[in-house]
Amino acid sequence: MDLAALRSFLVLAQAGNATRAAEELGVTQPAVSNQLARLEGALGQQLFDRTPQGMQLTAAGELLRGYVEEGLGRLEAGRAALARLAGLESGSLRVGGGATATTYLLPQLLGHFHASHPGIRLFVREEGSQAVTEAVARGELELGIVTLPVRSPPRPPLVVEPWANDELVLIAPRRSPLSKQSDFDWSELEGRPLVLFQAGSAVRNLIDRRLAQAQIGVQIVMELRSIESIKQMVRQGIGAAFVSRFALDRRAKALPCRGRPLHRQLALVYRQDRSLSPATREFLELLRREAPALKA
């Protein structure tokens, strides 16, 4: 149904005169009359009686008026809501990532984003990279920060955008001989106790591959998901551990791998077949702007 005709109908009902209605609408009087004729034709009802005192609503016109006022009111409210969404005054941001991202990278970025857009509802989920990728594919999350490589499902198509390079370094208990060194060689880990991330996680897979390549045996004494728990175990002398450079305290001593550093690529994952919400687009741009500052 013609929205312009419905608006003309309401203004005409209020003004009671086609000439005054045309002035208020900024159109000609014949245009108002034509819109009314089309509306009455479409509905098959006479909406006004033409009297010497002006245009007066018929019973059908009175009935229709309430529905049109409600409908146009809801439409205007919808347009206002869309404007707020586009202006980042409302909406939501659903993002997921691994332990390093959610503990050390996202908090400050989300803090800046929330300060600029307090009306946006935030939802953050911490999971392994593969689980985050699958949650993005299912539409549960709009954006993920993952460690490559990940298995991307064939459907729906996902964008996997390289974001930041990270280095995994070794931290050792204070009384360990390793703590006196400035770097380490894989052979020096032979038989040593290690506190590692849980088996099957992206970071653990990287570490396991390098241990296998070095052909050494280590004592895996703990498998944890929390980076802070891993660091606490190292402080208590339980064993050495690998953590991201992003997770290091300012005064923490970290040992890079001698010769060939243990690097990983962090990437942004989102669906290719769906338009990102305005809030997610804005946060994605923030992540891209901050990427150079995250170089390890």
Q: What is the pLDDT of residues 131-164, one digit of tens each?
A: 999 999 999 999 999 999 998 887 889 999 999 9
Distance CA 235, CA 61 (A): 80
User: What domains does the chain contain, in order, with CATH numbers?
Assistant: 3-86 (1.10.10.10), 92-164+266-294 (3.40.190.10), 166-264 (3.40.190.290)
> pLDDT grade, residue 29 (50/70/90)?
confident
Convert the pLDDT of each residue in 93-117 to its tens digit.
999 999 999 999 999 999 999 998 8
Q: Which residue has the higher pLDDT, 81 or 241?
A: 241
Indicate whether 84 pLDDT > 70.
no
Distance CA 178, CA 164 (A): 28
- Of 206, 115, 211, the C-alpha closest to 168 is 206
Distance CA 146, CA 287 (A): 13
Q: What is the pTM of this model?
A: 0.71
DSSP notation for 28-90: -HHHHHHHHHHHHHHHTS--EEEETTEEEE-HHHHHHHHHHHHHHHHHHHHHHHHHHHHTTSS
Task: Locate 248 and state its tokens.
Answer: 């290091």
Q: Are 68 and 3 in contact (CB under 8 A)?
A: no
Percentage with pLDDT > 90 across the chain: 58
Convert the pLDDT of each residue in 236-266 to its tens digit.
999 999 999 999 987 778 999 998 899 999 9
